[in-house]
Amino acid sequence: MCKKSALGLLAVAIVATIAGCRRPGATGGAPSGAPQTLQINGSDTMVNLGQAWAEAFIKKHAEVSVSVTGGGSGTGIAALINGTTDVAQCSRPMKPEEVAQAKAKGREPKEIQVAWDGIAVVVNPNNKVGQLTVDQLADIFAGKTTNWKQVGGAQGKMVILSREVNSGTHVYFKEHVLQKGDKTSKADYATSALLMPSSQAIHDEVAQNPQAIGYVGLGYLDSKVKALKVAQEPGAPFVAPSPQTVISQQYPISRPLFFYTAGEPAGPAKAFIDFVLSGEGQQVVSQLDFVPLKS
């Protein structure tokens, strides 16, 4: 079961600030002294994960105030380039032109993988379609397939939901599903696709719209939506998205999740990243239905 609801978060337009008063005996490697701040923003897929990491981190480092915001991977990268965030959370790698922009401003991006994620394709639980191939998904999201009856469902026009273009999930899904990893492909989302501001927004629309189809990270799965089984190609086995199938690389739509810093992390950022990569930090990954680095 997804743990996001317990965090009480909306995945966009969120500012989750966690602050603690400094207390004697706080453990860990964060610098001591005057209260310190740590700004983290970027991927909406990762915003709940970042919040959970922050909550666990300040139990050991109460002298650090941590702010976690969403807005998409592109937003986090832009903030890193402009020097307005300490850590960018990203569900995609930085693009070469983004790295060049950062270097032009004297910032050398440092990439740190922090977890794995599978992207689940979701429909309403009342939709009788339960499995699709990557080719079928590509045709649906490109607007070539428009009616559920064409893929074994009931008569009804499909409502395609996608993340906004600033989202790393939007980019990854386009490159790996619509374009099938072909960098020369011009395949793109249907012009009819509704661009949603967050993974939570896609989840909520699918939960109440029997004709909708969208995609979300594993951390957004619950009983209100149905995750489709996906086959890499016709004749291949259909595989449900789960931490286990992502770890085994059986599930076709999975990806690494990253932190980016401007140069080698130091101070509170280093302490936070060290915590995230520790056994305790990776346990938080599992608790939120993402996939730890070492599983």
- CB proximity list for 228: less than 8 A, separation 6 or greater: 120, 121, 122, 123, 129, 130, 131, 132
Number of H helices, E strands in the chain: 10, 12
The pLDDT of residue 248: 86
The pLDDT of residue 59: 95
The pLDDT of residue 33: 54
Helix then strand then coil, % of the chain, to nearest 5: 35, 25, 45
The 3-state DSSP class for residue 167 equals coil
Residues 19, 37 contacting (CB under 8 angstroms): no
Per-residue pLDDT of the chain (295 residues), as tens digits, is 444 444 443 333 334 444 443 333 333 344 445 679 999 999 998 999 999 999 999 999 999 999 999 999 999 999 999 999 999 999 999 999 999 999 999 999 999 999 999 999 999 999 999 999 999 999 999 999 999 999 999 999 999 999 999 888 999 999 999 999 898 999 999 999 999 999 999 999 999 999 999 999 888 999 999 999 999 999 999 999 998 899 888 999 998 999 999 999 999 999 999 999 999 999 999 888 789 998 5
Question: What span, in angstroms and rounded, lies between the C-alpha atoms of 193 and 210?
Answer: 16
- CB proximity list for 287: less than 8 A, separation 6 or greater: 3, 52
The pLDDT of residue 1: 47
The pLDDT of residue 114: 97
Report how far apart, in Å, the C-alpha atoms of 58 and of each of 19, 49, 79, 114 are: 8, 14, 23, 18
